[in-house]
Structure 1
Amino acid sequence: MKEFFKYVLATIVGLIAVSFIGIFLMIMVFSALVASTEKPVTVADNSMLVIDLTRQVVDRATNDPFEDLELPTMFSSVKTIGLDNIAEALQNAVDDDRIKGVYLDLAMINGGMASVEEIRNALIAFKDSCDKPVYACADKGILGQKAYYLATVADKIVVHPEVSVDFRGLGGEMMFYTQALKKIGIEMQVVRHGKFKAAVEPFMLDKMSKENREQQLTYMGSLWNHMLKGISAERGLSIEELNKLADEVQTFSKGRKAVAKGLVDAASYKDEVLDDLREITGIEGTEGVPVIGVKEYVKAPSSGKGKKYSRNKIAVIYASGEIGVSLSGDEAIEGDKLGREIRKVRQDSSYKAIVLRVDSPGGAVFDSETIWREVKLAAEEKTMVVSFGDLAASGGYYISCAADKIVASPNTITGSIGIFGTIPNFGGLLNDKLGITTDVVKTNENSDLLTLTRPMTPYERQMMQNTIEEGYDTFISHVAEGRGMTKEAVDEVGQGRVWSGENALELGLIDQFGGLQDAIKLAAEIEGLDSYRTVALPTQVSPLEEMLKMGGGSVRARILKNELGDKYRYYEYFKKATHMNGVMARMPYDIYLN
């Protein structure tokens, strides 16, 4: 027996030693890989700056060391491109003689409409500041509608002869789970305020309510009309002509037909595109055209005059994802963490202003209230400007309404001022489907309040409704105070209704149109700053820290995203929906436009 324990102990010690050695070797390997990605970047003369929008567009460039490495699926990441990097690259390229033009690599854009608008405006500003051309090309698949809207700002739009332009108008589809839940014996008990608060409709109905259909048509019409105006101005086609083309559906009309209809300028093969690029860059013969991506270009030493160092700092604080709903591998806004970040900046005298960049469909009311309080306190001491990204709805609007100014794109999705609560009842599943019964012992009448194994009593439902009504009153009170409106006026445009940025400006929910750079300039203008520098917060972790914090949930999410592609969103939505417990201030649904 003594020998047995000796061998068991030796085996355990050996396993521990091997594990430590394995971890050490893994860190060494990944450190070497990370170091290989940090080599100095050089920009060749006569280069084209490539903006690859087949990548997922995010507000802020990531610090993920695995993103551009060819690694096994469990470690590889979804490739992204940051709006901040795009803006910086285009600004630098204006005076950089090494850059001769911008090449837009287009197909389907993995980003929201407001992100597209910001890139489009940055390209317009680039063209207005120099005589370098913007060349848009789609050489595979289908040129999606968002991608086409962006492409129309280019000096030349080229598609492969076998590529078609997807032009058919905007549409939306909702999934309803009521019948499926009924089949498995689950009842989703819903309490809400606002006839437009449609987040819970998938658990209550089997089709859209009249109010939900109305709100979708309103904001979708606003987005579409804004797109048509932009396309019309650049392509010389009237809005009536464009709507006719959309009604006829261009999705299956390939390259040369799109040229004939005036949607694009040329249907060209790869060799013909290269000839165009050689002409732009001044390269003769059959030599290759030097190109550099946005991510690499912003790391390269600048050839122009560097900006003077300024002691005046403007904090740009990013708030992206669901509020308080942190699921494995998903970005989320945690009330305490974001609140602490805002508080640190408020208490730091070196910061003259704060710009809060919000891209969120909302989430937990408690976290939203925590962040709102810090935004309000910050606005009382410093200039506080909020910049909306693709989404700033419900809780996303809640955390923003106390700011001095709100800036959004015409096609930002916002509003959704309302709250709801859900309590699932698994009694039918447990009792009828699985044969599991429950019994209760309690000291008082309502000690088993809001259990998940039976329906709510009338008393419990009324208590929930009272909580929702109080929460809604708090929400519209915050908005009324922050926006200088009456509670009645806020309620009129609230009720959970979703609006486009264009609608929101008319209703007084935002102050002006613009992207993040416009919000930063506005903050500097309010403060009267002639010179300033921006500091992006929260501080991103180092590549090594990013690797070390990667847990099982993150790895699982990476694998699913790589395997499912854009279909991952359906899994993600159902996952979020099943985690919606308690009181929420969230968008009615997730919106994806092609």
Structure 2
Amino acid sequence: MKEFFRAFLGSCLGVLISLGLLILIGLGIIGAIVSSAEEEVKISPKTILKIELDQPIVERTSKNPLDNFNFNKFKSSKPIGLNTIIASLKKAKTDENIAGVYMDLTTVNAGGFATVQEIRNAIIDFKKSGKFVVAYSETYTQTAYYLASAADKIYLNPEGNLEMLGLKAQVMFYKGALEKLGINAQIIRHGKFKSAVEPFMLDKMSPANREQFDALLGSIWGIISSEISKSRNISAEEINSMANNMTITDGKSALKARLVDDLLYKDELIKKLSTFAKLGKDEEPEAISITKYDQVAAKDEKLAHEKIAVIYANGEVVMGSDSQNLSEKEISTALREARKDKRTKAIVLRVNSPGGSALASDIIWREMDLARKSKPVVVSMGDYAASGGYYITAPANVIYAQPTTLTGSIGVFGVLFDVQKGLKDKLGISVDVAKTHEHADLGTPFRPLTSSENQVIQMEIERIYATFTGHVAKGRRLPLSYVDSVGQGRVWSGTMAQKLKLIDKIGGLSDAISEAARLAKVKEYRIAELPEQKDAFSQILADFTGESLSTYFAKGQLGEAFVSYNEIRNFVKNQGVQARMPFWIQMK
């Protein structure tokens, strides 16, 4: 009998090992197919560059073919990198085979207005070539229309509509749910605007939080409406009237208000594109997607000896290795490598982060401070560079942000959940502990903090806040008292932050790179993107042996709700002292 079980278990183990090997071989085949597909593409004259933004826009295109893979539908919907979009438009500007740009904006899956603003600015720059830009949509969201407003011509489906209602920001509060579950969120914070913890302690916005929301939304809407006004030659007063009175209800009202140039079905649009591309009467235009065009070799591309390192710092600031977030380990290593590399003449840190771990932020700050002493360091802010995301930018020589970037949030908080009452009342579970010292179980979720423990943690929060503001004061060359006055956890738009001297200039990543080259006094250079991405197969292995596998499945199941799920998951996972923005804003 013993031999039977030994043989049986051995067979089971063999099957599992074989299955694992088959999975690895399968993934290797997928990686090989994807890699072989990435070969140089050639295009014909009068080709139209087609821009579709229906997939998530990330900071840079991933080499991982399973990024955003939908395992339920077994279909890939790989995110497109902002770097690829900008580079493709820059290349198309001088490409004699590209006749113009066609933006299909029925779905725009952008994280925030700053990302869209960067693409919009690249479209405006492309138009300097004299080539046409056409925008079309079955229905325009405000984000999509803001991007479309940069086009020469804007078309809408005759039965479609255009949203022009103004901006909103919604916050979900969990206090009532926690009370029903018997969970107590123990909050320690510095900064009256540091409202990341408010959903766990209130059932509506505090007056301070509402104040900053009103100021933020007003600032961002003012920028958007002003730029639409300029592009479409419609006064800002008219645009605000449309939003207040809901006068844009369908395509006809959008056409009458001069928001669009014509109402067309797709077949009529194709004829228009043929005319713009100067094709023959019966010729249909040939279009190429951004992802395909990325594989077209740039004309007379030279490999310069000197480099400017562009380091991408995206996601929540976390300790250790984490490909899904802003890893302290990866970013500090990249900064160190760039600092020590003699061929790297300047560093650009591209930040798109709401913050996170205070300790991880400080570790990255230290590498930034060392880098600045060695060579020029410039920061480019994306949609967010707040709290810990702002902390790491403080030592830079120059900081760039888009007008709609959310930044600042100079503040610190801590949160510890006490589930003792909920476990006992709801499930009849109690926890006892043996310990050598009174505070050995500090931080356990199975009892509340004592007053002395609360006081110690508050002192730690104050110490970290003093360090944070001290770093900002030193890096920005501002009085400490002034930094505290614009701190307190308050979030600012890029436009507001420039007036407050928290950033230096308005602009995107391209502007930051040009500034870095100017400071380093280099004319011929190439871009080195860091951290270095793994090849497709290595990245798949890394993801499938880590937390990313569950993330893939969660994204497929939850869809758009994944953002909220991930926010709560990270909040609970990162209990302790955090330098994090008080909210996520999704504005469409």
TM-score w.r.t. the length of structure 1 is 0.94
**Conserved 8 A contact 1:256-1:266:** no
> Which segment drifts farther, 203-212 or 3-12?
3-12
Match of 2:207 among 196, 205, 210: 210
CA distance in 1, matches of 2:169, 2:586: 8
Q: For 1:144, which of 141, 146, 170 is the aligned residue?
A: 141
Residue 18 (structure 1) aligns with? 18
Preserved CA contact (<8 Å) 1:450 1:460: no
Aligned to 1:549, what secondary structure does the other structure show?
Answer: helix
1:585 alignment partner, one of 573, 579, 583:
579
Q: Which of residues 511, 520, 529 is equivalent to 2:513?
A: 520
**2:68–2:552 CA contact under 8 A, matched in 1:** no
Q: Structure 2 CA distance, aligned partners of 1:467 and 1:214?
A: 28
Q: 1:556 is matched with which residue?
A: 550
Residue of structure 1 equivalent to 2:152: 155
Q: Deviations over 1:275-327 (max 9, x none)?
A: 0111112222343321111121121123x3x2443222100000000000789
In the alignment, the residues of structure 2 paired with residue 3 and residue 269 of structure 1 have an alpha-carbon distance, to the nearest angstrom, of 74
Superposed counterparts of 1:308-387, under 5 Å: 308-324=302-318, 331-387=324-380
Distance 2:320 2:286 in 1: 42
2:467 to 461, 474, 481: 474
Q: Using the alignment, how far apart are the partners of 1:238 and 1:88 within structure 2?
A: 33
Question: Deviation at 1:63?
Answer: 1.1
What CA distance in whole angstroms lies between the structure 2 residues aligned with 1:193 and 1:383?
Answer: 33
Supply the distance in 2 between the matched residues of 1:106 and 1:570 (Cα, whole angstroms): 24
Q: Distance in 2 between matches of 1:340 and 1:24?
A: 29
Give 2:166's aligned residue. 169
Contact 2:400–2:507 (Cα < 8 Å) also in 1: yes
CA distance 1:444–1:38, change in 2 (3 Å): closer
Q: Is the 8 A contact 1:152 1:235 kept in 2?
A: yes
- 2:419 pairs, out of 426, 430, 433, with 426
2:289 is equivalent to residue 290 of structure 1: no
Residue 238 of structure 2 aligns to a residue whose secondary structure is helix
The answer on whether the counterparts of 2:355 and 2:386 sit within 8 Å (CA) in structure 1 is: yes
Quote the Cα distance in structure 2 between the aligned partners of 1:311 and 1:225.
44
What is the alpha-carbon distance in structure 2 between the residues aligned to residue 292 and residue 554 of structure 1? 32
1:72/1:588 CA distance change after superposition, 3 Å: closer
Q: Deviation string for 1:392-451 (max 9, x for gaps)?
A: 000000001111110000110000000000011111112222222233333333333233
Rounded Cα–Cα distance in structure 2 between residues aligned with 1:2 and 1:415: 67
Deviations 1:109-131 (A, max 9, x none): 22211111111111111112x11
Percent identity over the alignment is: 42
Q: Secondary structure at the match of 1:258?
A: helix
Q: For 2:382 and 2:538, locate their aligned partners in 1 and report how far apart those are by CA, in whole Å.
A: 28
* 1:58 has 2:58 as partner: yes
Q: Counterpart of 2:108 in 1: which secondary structure? A: coil
Residue 249 of structure 1, CA deviation:
2.3
Structure-2 residue corresponding to 1:301: 297
Q: 2:454 aligns with which of 445, 448, 461?
A: 461
Which residue in 2 is equivalent to 1:179?
176
Of residues 242-251 and 479-488 in structure 1, the stretch that sits farther from structure 2 once superposed is 242-251
The residue that corresponds to 1:83 in the other structure is 82
- Larger deviation, residues 574-583 vs 194-203: 574-583
Q: Distance in 1 between matches of 2:402 and 2:52?
A: 22
- For 2:206 and 2:9, the matched residues in 1 are separated by 66
1:267 maps to which of 259, 263, 268? 263
Task: Tell me the distance in 1 between the aligned counterparts of 2:78 and 2:474.
Answer: 41
Q: Is the 8 A contact 2:307 2:528 kept in 1?
A: yes
Q: Which residue of 1 aligns with 2:133?
A: 134
Task: Provide the C-alpha distance between the structure 1 equivalents of 2:73 and 2:269, rounded to a whole number of angstroms.
Answer: 36
Stretches of structure 2 lacking an aligned partner (at least 5 in a row): none
Distance 1:32 1:159 in 2: 41
1:257-281, Cα deviation, whole Å (9 max, x unpaired)? 2111111111100111000111112
Partners of 1:397 and 1:81 in 2: CA distance:
25
Q: Which residue of 2 aligns with 1:505?
A: 498
Q: Write the distance in 1 (CA, Å) between the matches of 2:173 and 2:547.
A: 27
Q: CA deviation at 1:513?
A: 0.4
Equivalent residue, structure 2, for 1:201: 198
Amino acid at match of 1:193: H
Per mean C-alpha deviation after superposition, the further-off stretch among 521-530 and 79-88 is 79-88
Aligned length: 586
Which residue of structure 1 lines up, in the alignment, with residue 442 of structure 2?
A: 449
Is residue 66–residue 75 contact of structure 1 (8 Å, CA) maintained in 2? no
| Distance apart, 1:44 and its partner CA | 2.1
Aligned twin of 2:117: 117
User: Does the CA-based 8 Å contact 2:195-2:583 persist in structure 1?
Assistant: yes
Distance 1:527 1:435, change over 3 A: same
| Cα distance, 1:564 vs structure 2 | 2.9
Q: Which moved more, 1:1-10 or 1:518-527?
A: 1-10
More displaced, 170-179 or 527-536? 527-536
Please give the alpha-carbon distance, in whole angstroms, between the structure 2 residues aligned to 1:150 and 1:318.
Answer: 24
Distance 1:417 1:5, change over 3 A: closer
Classify 1:40/1:68 alpha carbon distance in 2 versus 1 (closer, same or farther; 3 Å). Answer: farther
Q: Deviations over 1:191-247 (max 9, x none)?
A: 000000000000111100000000011111100000011001011111111100011
User: 8 Å contact 2:35–2:536 — kept in the other structure?
Assistant: no
Larger displacement relative to structure 2 (558-567 or 428-437): 558-567
State how far apart, in whole Å, the 1-side matches of 2:176 and 2:170 are. 17
Name which of structure 1's ranges 177-186 and 286-295 shifts more when overlaid on structure 2.
286-295
Q: Distance in 1 between matches of 2:175 and 2:24?
A: 51
Letter in 2 for 1:315: A
The question of 1:224 aligning with 2:221 is answered yes
CA distance in 1, matches of 2:457, 2:346: 40
Secondary structure of the structure 2 residue equivalent to 1:357: strand
Q: Distance in 1 between matches of 2:254 and 2:320?
A: 44
Mapped to 1, the partners of 2:271 and 2:5 lie a distance apart of 76
The question of whether the paired residues in 2 share the 8 Å contact of 1:425 and 1:455 is answered with yes
SS in 2 for 1:143: coil
- TM-superposition CA deviations, 1:322-351 (whole Å, max 9, x none): 0007898x7211212211110111111111
Contact 1:168-1:250 within 8 A present in 2 as well = no
Cα-to-partner distance string for 1:482-518 (whole Å, 9 max, x where unaligned): 0000110000000000000000000000000000000
Output the amino acid matched with 1:73. Answer: N
Q: What's the offset of the Cα at 1:62?
A: 1.4
Matches of 2:74 and 2:319 in 1, distance apart?
24
User: Is 1:237 matched up with 2:234?
Assistant: yes
